[in-house]
Amino acid sequence: MKLGVALCVLGLAVAIEGLSEEQKKRLEEYSKECLEVSKVEEAVLKEAEKGVFLDDPKLKVHALCFSKKIHMQNEKGEIQVDVIKEKLTSQIKSAEEVEKVVKLCLVQKDTPENTAFEGLQCLQKNVPKDVVLF
């Protein structure tokens, strides 16, 4: 996901010019819906876009909302390893790399919000920039 014209979704800066029209529309919908739910401050999202993830409860709500939208977590907040593994496998050719990322990033935490918050941060840092998870 190269930086360019970007939308911020928990700091996942997504270059929209490389996406299909359907993907662009879906990303815009997710972003609007999650902002309505989380009410996170724009400044907090801007920091996340820079890689600075503040320990903000609203940012964590935003992360959970987005995580559910991409099916990383179900409605109960449980990680859906098979779904993310399938998305990663379709774009990362190394099965070893997929397993490494899954074990590192898809870890159930004490709350669904923390699971999403930490998982999405981890994915942002450890998944190749051209992988699309939505």
CATH number for position 86: 1.10.238.20
Q: Domain of 81? A: 6-126
Count of beta carbons in the 10 Å neighbourhood of residue 105: 21
What pLDDT does residue 33 have? 92
- Is residue 84 domain-resident? yes
Chain mean position to CA 91: 16
Residue 26, pLDDT > 90, answer: no
Beta strands in 29-116 (DSSP E): none
- Is residue 1 domain-resident? no
- Is residue 75 domain-resident? yes
Q: What are phi and psi of 109, to 5 degrees?
A: -105, -170
- Is residue 134 domain-resident? no
Residue 89, pLDDT > 70, answer: yes
Q: How confident is the model at residue 14 (pLDDT cuts 50, 70, 90)?
A: low
What pLDDT does residue 13 have? 47
How many angstroms separate the Cα of 30 from the Cα of each of 10, 27, 93, 95, 100? 11, 5, 27, 29, 27
- Is residue 23 domain-resident? yes
- Is residue 31 domain-resident? yes
pLDDT tens-place string over residues 108-121: 999 999 999 999 88
- Is residue 131 domain-resident? no
Q: How confident is the model at residue 106 (pLDDT cuts 50, 70, 90)?
A: very high
Residue 11, pLDDT > 60, answer: no
- Is residue 77 domain-resident? yes
Overall number of domains in the chain: 1
Count of beta carbons in the 10 Å neighbourhood of residue 102: 18
pLDDT tens-place string over residues 46-68: 888 777 889 999 999 999 998 99
